Structure 1
Amino acid sequence: MNNIKLRWLVVGFLFIATGLSFLDRQVLSVAIIEIQNEFQLTDVEYGWINTSFLIGYALMFTVGGWLIDRYGGRLGLACSVGVWSAANIMHGVMNGFIQMASFRFLLGLGEGGCFPGAAKSVSEWFGKKERALANGIAIGGSAVGAVIAPPLTIWISGNHSWRWSFVLPGIIGLLWVIGWLCISQRKSLKESNLNPLSKTKIPFLEILRVKQVWVFVVIRFLLDPVLYFLMFWIPKYLSSERNMAYEQIGNLFWIPFLTLGISNIIGGWLSDKLISRFKFSLNKSRKTVMGVAALLTMVAPLIAFVSSVQLAITLMAVITFAHGFWITNYITSIADVFGGAATSTVVGISGTAGTLSALLVNPMIGKMVSSAGYAPLWILSGIMYPLGFVILLLCIPKISPLKLK
């Protein structure tokens, strides 16, 4: 297999890995109905089960990112997918709250290394002119996983049992590890085409002293709660504010996440095309796409006021489409700045910041919905991305490789 085919095969494996990541974490949200009936779990216990996942996820985002920068994307992703796939299989034999919370924590630990590992692998295999598209495809798998998780879980549970809805994807994940280790044995790019930092090992504390790290962290801290709000609260919004039946919600909920997966890829392709065809600088191309994304999210406040459910869903899809543009170029910008030396670490630190922000904000969302409804949340959703873009423009005037010692 020639180098070009091998590189894109690697991206295909990354697409599957991020897809499995979102699929595996969302199986529980569907299967919990049967699990609660069998084990008599309370909603409070279910809340703690979700929290245990987020704690493991937040912790390993940073730790896993640092480890992957030390040992490489090949070994790092293999360990990450292997751990969460084994944890997923363990869900199939759980018999109560304690085991379930423990296995969710282990699942979070494994999945915390997924996106740092994907970003690291792309930075190892691709130069700057193809890096955004490769990142877009790799990240896009997560949205596809989110789309197929509900119907797949229902189908497996209906034909077998809820336990197999965890076990079968876990087995697929272990098979993925074997395939990944086989195809990723050799690098396809010459060292001259990679970011010159690719072989440098930078101490963790040194990375924390770099201003650009904290810019990326603050932006992620501000913006991740918007996506978590869409993921966790759209069904309740459609039910309580739009009076939609459960079946109708299931028929529409997947649409915003399908647009997210599509825009991950388009956003990466567009950014790379601006460089290769229109001769944009790396800085101008990444910021152009992120600026367009920020403008698109400003439609969010309209959701509170449109009368049509279909139009409200369309506007939500515009927001998720914009997020795909944003997150692909955001992660690619980190790779552009830090190269193979610290990309995974910085993606990990920023991911931890986003997850912690979501943990802090989610209870506040509940209080705001109870007291003021959803309108303030849609307004805030339309403000945060433009704010993040302004911070990026002011604090990182030029996206370019950083010389670290």
Structure 2
Amino acid sequence: MFKDSKKYWFVVFMAFIATALSFLDRQVLSVSIIKIKEDFPISDTDYGLINTGFLVSYAIMFTLGGILIDRFGSRKGLGFSVGLWSLATALHSIATNVFHFGIFRFFLGLGEGGAFPGVIKAVVEWVPKKKQALANGIVIGGSALGAVIAPPLCVYLIQIIGWRGVFLATGIFGLLWVLVWFLLPKKKEEILEIGEGEVISWGDTFRSVAKVLKVREVWVFVLIRFVLDPIFYFYMFWIPKYLSDSRGVDLEKIGDLFWIPFLALGLSNMLGGFISDKIFRRTASLDWARKGVMGVAAILTLSALFVKYMPSEEWVIVIMVVAFFAHGLWITNYITAISDTFGKSITSTVIGLSGTAGALSSIIINPLMGKIIQSYSYDPMWIYSGLMYPVAFILFLILMPKIKQLKYLPTM
């Protein structure tokens, strides 16, 4: 099936669909909640607890999923992850109370925690080094596609098959993806590394993680993600509210405008990878290829400082397009730098650790954001959003003077 090496792009396409499904499935509830409330009462507090269930399991599984995927490979690891969250999505269709939604949301987070470690592992396993940045950009860009199509698709399907039908349909689609994914042949390395009937103890796993945490470069990537992830969560969770509260924009117009930054994000994920690969092929320098694009992205994020001065909501969206575009350039090359540094051995584990750090910082900082906005204004958040990418980039230059694959690494 895969005699022609160019067919690794089919693996990339499947990984792209997986991340699109991850963002689609996590947004179905936020779109459907208005209709769900018509069937049985869910307070704002209840809704917050339901979403917290997802964030907690997502934070845990980001690291655990990365560890397991490094153990078992992308074929088994990503397939299991998509299968678990698709089943959890489908089960939302039988929920009749807040407890049901909380449980199903928790399992959705458990599955989705393995999404990004899994797709990046697939790229590392299948795609040649000189094309990995572009491949990473494509698979990460799937999440933006999911974010763009989720609102209109869900609204359309709710009108036809109801909110229960939407959960069931998207869950079934994910399970069909799993069937196709397991038709892929095993990589030779995977067959050699993981024998039939091999038993891996949790004690061995935790000892391996302890060794990973002793690698200084791991903490560099974890620190960067801890500092920056709350910014993107601020953009996702608070900009619609900012447009409504501070700009007087109605919900319909917010829906008409807010998908545009996500489209810019998806395009920049791919463009950032394409440009980075091109620089690498011409210069043979990972530093120039990854840090050059990340530096440009850091400069572009300064645009967030000017949101308060924009004369209209359309101009706010223009600034958000620039900010999301910059984030896409940044995150693609940040993740590719992880695979450049750690190779096939612990890439998914490091991505998992950094993702968990970002989720935990967001869990901690998001309530603080609300307090700041309520007590002062949105201005401190725009300042943080505009300055922290340049600060993180300077830290990255200092702490990672040269991007190169480390020679001596623990294995999972």
Normalised by the length of structure 2, the TM-score is 0.93
> For the Cα contact (< 8 Å) 1:4–1:188, is it kept in 2?
no
Cα displacement (A) at 1:39: 1.5
Cα displacement (A) at 1:230: 0.5
| Inter-partner Cα distance in structure 1 for 2:3 and 2:150 | 34
2:399 to 383, 387, 395: 395
Cα displacement (A) at 1:297: 0.1
Task: Please give the root-mean-square deviation of Cα atoms over the aligned residues, in Å.
Answer: 1.5
Number of the residue aligned with 2:126: 125
Task: Kindly indicate whether residue 369 of structure 2 is the aligned counterpart of residue 377 of structure 1.
Answer: no
| Inter-partner Cα distance in structure 2 for 1:363 and 1:27 | 23
Cα displacement (A) at 1:309: 1.6
| Inter-partner Cα distance in structure 2 for 1:177 and 1:114 | 13
Counterpart residue identity of residue 351, structure 1? G
For residues 6-405 of structure 1, the aligned pairs below 5 Å read: 6-186=7-187, 203-276=208-281, 278-405=282-409
Counterpart residue identity of residue 357, structure 1? S
1:140-175 CA-to-partner distances (Å, cap 9, x unmatched) read 000000010011111111111101111111101001
Change in Cα spacing, 1:111 to 1:42, as seen in structure 2 (3 Å) is same
Cα displacement (A) at 1:40: 0.4
- Between the aligned residues of both structures, percent identity stands at 54
Question: Which deviates the most, 266-275 or 28-37?
Answer: 28-37
Cα displacement (A) at 1:308: 2.2
Secondary structure of the corresponding residue to residue 399 of structure 1: coil
| Inter-partner Cα distance in structure 2 for 1:55 and 1:3 | 42
1:46-72 CA-to-partner distances (Å, cap 9, x unmatched) read 000000000110000000100000000
| Inter-partner Cα distance in structure 2 for 1:258 and 1:187 | 37
Counterpart residue identity of residue 264, structure 1? N
| Inter-partner Cα distance in structure 2 for 1:78 and 1:187 | 18
> For the Cα contact (< 8 Å) 1:58–1:356, is it kept in 2?
yes
Change in Cα spacing, 1:48 to 1:125, as seen in structure 2 (3 Å) is same
Secondary structure of the corresponding residue to residue 241 of structure 1: helix
> For the Cα contact (< 8 Å) 1:61–1:348, is it kept in 2?
yes
| Inter-partner Cα distance in structure 2 for 1:157 and 1:146 | 17
Unaligned runs of 5+ residues in structure 1 are 192-200
Counterpart residue identity of residue 217, structure 2? Q
Counterpart residue identity of residue 21, structure 1? S
Cα displacement (A) at 1:306: 1.2
Cα displacement (A) at 1:242: 1.0
Q: 4+ residue stretches of structure 1 with deviation over 6 A?
A: none
| Inter-partner Cα distance in structure 2 for 1:336 and 1:46 | 40
Cα displacement (A) at 1:283: 1.6
Counterpart residue identity of residue 248, structure 2? N
Cα displacement (A) at 1:3: 2.9
Unaligned runs of 5+ residues in structure 2 are 193-204
1:199-234 CA-to-partner distances (Å, cap 9, x unmatched) read xx9921110000010110010000000100000011
Counterpart residue identity of residue 52, structure 1? G
> For the Cα contact (< 8 Å) 1:80–1:111, is it kept in 2?
yes
| Inter-partner Cα distance in structure 1 for 2:40 and 2:217 | 48
Counterpart residue identity of residue 3, structure 1? D
Cα displacement (A) at 1:280: 4.6
Secondary structure of the corresponding residue to residue 329 of structure 1: helix
Counterpart residue identity of residue 111, structure 2? G
Give the total of aligned pairs: 394
Change in Cα spacing, 1:251 to 1:187, as seen in structure 2 (3 Å) is farther
Cα displacement (A) at 1:4: 3.1
Counterpart residue identity of residue 309, structure 2? F
| Inter-partner Cα distance in structure 1 for 2:92 and 2:336 | 34
